[in-house]
Amino acid sequence: MKKIALIFSFLGVLGCVTQKEKSENVFFAGQIVNPTDNAVVLYSGDKVIDSTLLDKNNRFSFQLSNIKDGLYHFEHGNGLKKELQYVYFEKGDSIQIRLNTLDFDESLVFSGNESGAELNNFLIDMFLSHEEEEQMIYRQVYSYEPNQFSRFIDSLRSLKISSLNALLSEVEISKTAQNIAQASIDYSYFNYKEEYPFQHKRHLGQNVIKNLPVDFYDYRKEIGYSNSHLNYLRPYHDFMKAHIKNLSFANCSFDCDSVGRTTRNHLHVNRHKLSLIDSLVEEAELKDNLFRNVAINYLLMANDSEENIETFIDDFRFRSENNRHREEIENLYERIKKIQPQQEVPNIKVANIDGKNISLRDISKDKKVVFYFWSAADKKHFKNIVKQARHLSNTKKDYIFVGINIRTDQATWKGMVATAGLNKELQYKANDFDEIMKSLAISHLNKCVITENATILNAFSDLYATSL
C-alpha cells in the first residue's frame, strides 16, 4: 500500500511538473484552405519569431516557448497578396485556426482553450464589424453635423462595449487581454473622430476644424502614448496616424503664417508631423514606427521636388537619428532620387511574351510610354486596370500603354493576356519582383510611370488620376 501511495504521489508531482511546463509554452496550429503560399510566418511586432511550411493537408503548427503574453500576428501569401491577422497568446494557450484564403478574415475561426479562443474570436469579430461599419460611415455618417456625428459614433461604441462586458461575464480573461479588447473598440471610434473634419469637408466642402464643439475631442484625455502592448494593434496604430495628422493640420491652421500652405505644401505639413511625434510619443518603438510611417508615405506619395525631399530627409535624420527603420528609409530615399523627373528609366529587364528579355529603358526609347502594373493575384484589379488602359490609349493617342505583370507564373500570365485580348507586343512580365517593386517604388498597383524617350516624366502618377 505504501508503494502504491508513493507511486500515486510521484505521478501527482509529475503531473504538476508537466502542467507547469505546459503552462510556459504556447501551441498554435491550423489549416489553410486554398493556400496562396506554402508557409505561415509568425511575427512579434515587425520581427519574425518563427515560420513553418504547410503539410500535404495544408496544416501547420508552432510550438512556442519563452514568449511573452501579448499580441502577435501571422502572415500567409506572397507579393502584394500577403494576408495577415493578429492573434493574442498567453502562456499555456493551445489555439487552432481554420481559414479560407478566398475570404481570409471572414472565414477565420479560432478554437482551443476557452479563454484564448474566445478572446481571439472576439477580436476578429470586432475587426470585421468595424470593416462593415466603416463603409457606412465613409459613405454617409461623415456628412453629419458634429453633434449628430458624435452621438452616432458613441452609440456604436457603446454596443461594442456591451458585447465585451457580456464576454467578460462568461469567460475569465486576464487584465492585459481585457485592455487589448477594450482598446480594439475604443481606438476604432476615436479614429473616426480624428478623421471627421477631413472627411466632412470632402463630403460637404465645409471646414469645421475651428467650429467643433469644445468636448468633441474629450476622449483624448484617455489616450496614452506609451503602451507597448498596443503598438501593433491595428486600431491603435491607425488612430495614432490619424491623430498626428489631425494635430498637424490643426496646429498649422491656427499657428502658421503662410496662408494655405497647410494643405498645399506637402513638405510643410509632414515636418509638422515629425515634430509632433518627437514631442508627444514616449514609447520608443511606437515613435520609430510613426516616424517610419510619415517618411514612407511622404517619399512614396509626395511627388515633390528633390530639394523638398532632401529637406524632409534631413529633418527625419535629425529627429530620429537612431530609428530602427533608418536603413529602410535611407534605401528608399536613394531609390526615390533615381526616379525623379528627367532621370533615365531604370535599366530593369522584363520578359516579352516569347520569353525574350528587354529593358524598360529600351521599351521606352524614342517614344512616349506609360507603364502600368497588374497581378494575377487580383483578378478584379486586372479587369479594371485593363479597361482604364484601353480608355486612355484611345484618348491619349500619342502615348503607348505598356502593361507589366507582377509575380505571376508564366502559363497564367500568358492565359490572362490571351483571354483579355491584350496586344501581346505591349505586355511584359517582371523577372524579379523585388527589383521592380523597389526600383520603381511601387506601393500600389494603380500606380503608373510616365516616360518619354527613356526619360522619366512622372514616376508617381496614378492611372486613374493621371493628366498626360
Q: What's the start-to-end Cα distance of the chain, in Å? A: 94
Tell me how far apart the alpha carbons of residues 331 and 334 are, in angstroms, rounded to a whole number. Answer: 5
The CB density around residue 318, as the number of other CB atoms within 10 Å, is: 10
CB 360 within 8 A of CB 344: no
Tell me how far apart the alpha carbons of residues 100 and 113 are, in angstroms, rounded to a whole number. Answer: 22
Q: Is residue 147 part of a domain?
A: yes
**Three cell numbers at 394?**
484611345
The CB density around residue 6, as the number of other CB atoms within 10 Å, is: 10
* Statement to judge: residues 179 and 195 lie in one domain: yes
Q: What are the b/e assignments for 259-274, b being 16+ CB within 10 Å?
A: eeebeebbbbbbbbbb
pLDDT score for 12: 47
CB 163 within 8 A of CB 121: no
* Statement to judge: residues 195 and 98 lie in one domain: no
Tell me how far apart the alpha carbons of residues 140 and 154 are, in angstroms, rounded to a whole number. Answer: 16
Reference 233, options 118, 126, 110; nearest CA is 126
**Three cell numbers at 262?**
497647410
* Strand, helix or coil for residue 110: strand
CB 137 within 8 A of CB 192: yes
Say which residues have a Cβ less than 8 Å from residue 255's Cβ, sequence separation at least 6.
none
Domain end: 79, 112, 145, which one?
A: 112
* Statement to judge: residues 184 and 282 lie in one domain: no
Q: Is residue 209 part of a domain?
A: yes
Full pLDDT tens readout for the chain, 468 residues? 444 444 344 444 444 444 444 457 999 999 999 998 999 999 998 899 999 999 999 999 999 998 899 999 999 987 667 899 999 999 999 999 999 998 999 999 999 887 889 999 999 999 999 999 999 999 999 999 999 999 999 999 999 999 999 999 999 999 999 999 999 999 999 999 999 999 999 898 888 887 899 999 999 998 888 888 898 999 999 999 999 999 988 776 555 554 444 444 688 889 999 999 999 998 999 999 999 999 999 998 767 888 999 999 999 999 988 899 999 999 999 999 999 999 999 999 999 999 999 999 999 999 999 999 999 888 999 999 999 999 999 999 999 999 999 988 899 999 999 999 999 999 999 999 889 999 999 988 999 999 999 999 999 999 998 667
pLDDT score for 113: 85
pLDDT score for 82: 81
* Statement to judge: residues 126 and 223 lie in one domain: yes
Handedness of CA 407, 408, 414, 418 (dihedral sign): negative
Edge-first strand order for the sheet with 109-112 is 59-65, 25-33, 94-100, 109-112
Tell me how far apart the alpha carbons of residues 349 and 176 are, in angstroms, rounded to a whole number. Answer: 51
* Statement to judge: residues 128 and 223 lie in one domain: yes
pTM, two decimal places: 0.83
Q: Is residue 17 part of a domain?
A: no
pLDDT score for 263: 43
Q: Which letter does DSSP use for residue 344 in this model? A: B
Q: Is residue 184 part of a domain?
A: yes
CATH number at residue 89: 2.60.40.10
Burial class of residue 25 (count of CB atoms within 10 Å of its CB; 0-12, 13-18, 19+): middle
* Statement to judge: residues 206 and 138 lie in one domain: yes
Amino acid (one-letter) located at 274: L
Q: What are the b/e assignments for 404-419, b being 16+ CB within 10 Å?
A: bbbbbeeeebbebbee
* Statement to judge: residues 37 and 57 lie in one domain: yes
Amino acid (one-letter) located at 58: N
pLDDT score for 301: 79
pLDDT score for 159: 96
Handedness of CA 451, 452, 454, 456 (dihedral sign): negative
Q: Which contacts qualify for 323-332: CB closer than 8 Å, 24 or more apart?
A: 323/288, 323/291, 323/292, 324/285, 324/288, 325/288, 325/289, 325/291, 325/292, 325/295, 328/292, 329/292, 329/295, 329/296, 329/299, 331/438, 332/295, 332/296, 332/299, 332/300, 332/441
Q: Is residue 281 part of a domain?
A: yes
pLDDT score for 183: 95
* Statement to judge: residues 427 and 374 lie in one domain: yes
pLDDT score for 345: 97
Q: Which helix (H) or strand (E) holds 298?
A: helix 284-301
* Statement to judge: residues 228 and 118 lie in one domain: yes
CB 235 within 8 A of CB 184: yes
Q: Which letter does DSSP use for residue 36 in this model? A: S
Q: Which helix (H) or strand (E) holds 350?
A: strand 349-351
Total count of domains within the chain: 4
Tell me how far apart the alpha carbons of residues 164 and 148 are, in angstroms, rounded to a whole number. Answer: 25
Residue range of the domain that includes 199: 113-233
pLDDT score for 262: 41
Tell me how far apart the alpha carbons of residues 45 and 72 are, in angstroms, rounded to a whole number. Answer: 7
Domain end: 112, 128, 161, which one?
A: 112
* Statement to judge: residues 73 and 181 lie in one domain: no
Q: Is residue 164 part of a domain?
A: yes
Q: Is residue 41 part of a domain?
A: yes
* Statement to judge: residues 324 and 386 lie in one domain: no
* Statement to judge: residues 102 and 125 lie in one domain: no
Domain end: 62, 80, 112, which one?
A: 112
Q: Is residue 278 part of a domain?
A: yes
- Name beta bridge partners: 370: 401, 450
